[in-house]
Structure 1
Amino acid sequence: MATYSDEQLARYFAHIGYQGRSARQAAGEDALEVLTTLQRLHLARVPFESLTLHYSRHRLLSLDPAALFDKIVGNSRGGYCMEVNTFFATVLRSLGFTLISVGGRVRVADQYTGWSHMANLVTINNTRYLVDVGFGSNGPPHPVPLVDGHEFVGIAPVRGRLQHRALEEHTDPNQRVWVYSTRDDAEGEPWRDQYAFVELEFLPADFEVMNLHTMTAPQSYFVQTVLCMRTLLDERAQTAHGVVILHKDYVKTRVGAVETIETLETEEQRVRALDQYFKVVITPDEQKAICGLASELRPKGPSP
């Protein structure tokens, strides 16, 4: 498996604002604390986004760890699940963590997709933790132990839960997968399945197949949608207390309640918003690449 050098790790830590003891040293002493801190800072700095599928000439996404380092750290971008979770897995392996990468099925419109999601399972002191930096605003903001029925506080007002159970789609009811669900922290709110995953290690070749479909299929959500999202931290950067999301033609925040803070009417406005809220710079040539796509923002002309 690929790893990053000490120099690359130092650049990444500077990029996300990790300070304190050497993470490699601390990972051996307080592994869960280090993992939790890295995940929190990563989610606040490295956005979950689909931008390359719209603002590039090639519209191809590489899962090569070296290419991901250049994109995320060198070019201040993020990516979707397979990109950011491959990158984060490489960081963790470089620090000496034990983990496997697994596949997941996302719940969409009351049914599960095929294999389209990637997550990491990190083992610390004989306990496995779900670590996912690539599921957007409803993803787990910290490591979650694989304990059937475990509930936890996500980013307010969201709560999360893990269950080990069968899916309705299973033809053999004795099958078991892990199901990650969320609900708003309010009395009577229903749990909503977000995705299901297995404890079988997926290999890089498996993710290459999944990535090919996700980045090229016309019906892919990421092909259709310009999306960029990151978490918001409190003043001491100790807790993720909200999210900021650019979705198609608007920017909104969720800090307790959802608030739309900007409506975007042109590509120039969206490019400025990406820089302002996510520190993502779209070059003039990259901006030209979206021209003619269905996802391009075009100024609305006067009504006839």
Structure 2
Amino acid sequence: MTAASFDQQAWLDRIGYNGSREPTLCTLHQLIFAHSHAIAYESLDIMLGRTPRLDLASLQRKMIFGGRGGYCLEQNMLFREGLRSLGYKITSLQGRVVRGMAIDAPCPAIHMLLQVDLPDGPYLADVGFGNLAPTSALLLREGIEQATPHEPMRFINVVGELTLQAKLRDTWEHIYRVIPYPRYDAEYEITNWYTGTHPDAPYQSNIIVARPGPNRTRITMFNRRVTVRYATGEADRRHLKDEAEFRSVLRGEFGLNMTDNEIRSCIDVMERKGEKGAPHPFFA
């Protein structure tokens, strides 16, 4: 059951959705597409010394009314409340991110996922993975190539965990392994504290933003580098030169409601502590 304090209409207005509210697979596809395009993946509060808060009031204040985005835990917690408010049955899960690693790497479970149980079967919903978040629901069944508004995707079984892969050009690249057991919100709080405060996590030092773009593109930003990747696998890259360009990209291309001082502070942290080379594949 959804929390009584969730403002369903404000969420739907924020993501620009005015379609059916019946809890069907078709509606789920449309909600994922709308939410992921409207609310950018970003972790900039961590650079500003603000560990993300996962309580519903904070999530709504930041991402619905505040015009900001969020990273995986924030995004999928908010999306979960939206789905529950419409009558969907949700199982909260976690995943092991293996993007850019060996597919069977012994990784911790730091990514939040949602399983939506429908008459058609169990489906994955994930609006919080950044540069490769699925832009439609995916049937949680191995060995089936599934079309999305962006890349084809599929699951394969690796050490008992369904592993999500995306087809980029002609290559299937792995993204994360889904742990098939329900998780409690207290476990997400532990994960959130780790990712938001650990000195080796990338979020304290680097500007990381992503969202799907028009015509099946994906737009990502890692520090000064902005990449537009096309459905063909080709990409355009450019490097931002000054604060004015940062303001233009963060506010214009990613739709983030940030003050001049907030943007300036992020740039300062990036220049002092950020990675200087190409981003990790997870953020490319």
SS at match of 1:13: helix
Superposed CA deviations along residues 30-51 of structure 1, whole A, max 9, x for unmatched, are x111111000011111111111
Match of 2:18 in 1: 19
Q: 1:48 to 1:296 in 2, by over 3 A?
A: farther
CA shift for structure 1 position 4: 5.5
Match of 1:219 in 2: 200
Match of 1:53 in 2: 46
- Residue 3 (str. 1) matches residue 13 (str. 2): no
Indicate conservation of the 8 Å contact 1:48/1:80, yes or no.
yes
Percent of matched pairs sharing the same residue? 25
Match of 1:160 in 2: 153
1: CA distance, partners of 2:194 / 2:273? 25
CA shift for structure 1 position 78: 1.3
CA shift for structure 1 position 155: 5.2
Match of 1:65 in 2: 56
If the length of structure 1 is used for normalisation, what is the TM-score?
A: 0.81
Unaligned runs of 5+ residues in structure 2 are 275-284
Match of 1:301 in 2: none
The one of 67, 80, 100 equivalent to 1:76 is 67
1: CA distance, partners of 2:38 / 2:182? 28
1: CA distance, partners of 2:74 / 2:166? 23
Q: 1:269 to 1:154 in 2, by over 3 A?
A: same
| Higher relative contact order (CA closer than 8 Å, sequence separation 6+) | 2
Unaligned runs of 5+ residues in structure 1 are 167-175, 235-240, 299-304
If the length of structure 2 is used for normalisation, what is the TM-score?
A: 0.87
SS at match of 1:274: helix
1: CA distance, partners of 2:45 / 2:128? 16
Q: Comparing 133-142 with 60-69, which one deviates more in the overlay?
A: 133-142
Show the 5 A alignment for 1:1-304. 2-3=2-3, 8-21=7-20, 23=21, 26-27=22-23, 31-54=24-47, 56=48, 58-107=49-98, 108-110=100-102, 111-125=105-119, 127-154=121-148, 156=150, 158-166=151-159, 176-186=160-170, 189=171, 191-234=172-215, 241-256=216-231, 257-260=233-236, 262-290=238-266, 292-295=268-271
Larger radius of gyration: 1
Indicate conservation of the 8 Å contact 1:242/1:254, yes or no.
yes
Q: 1:219 to 1:155 in 2, by over 3 A?
A: farther
Q: 1:258 to 1:49 in 2, by over 3 A?
A: farther
Give the aligned residue type for 2:101. Answer: A
Q: CA RMSD in A?
A: 2.3
CA shift for structure 1 position 266: 2.7
Indicate conservation of the 8 Å contact 1:102/1:199, yes or no.
yes
Alignment length (residue pairs): 270
Give the aligned residue type for 1:34. Answer: T
Give the aligned residue type for 1:118. Answer: M
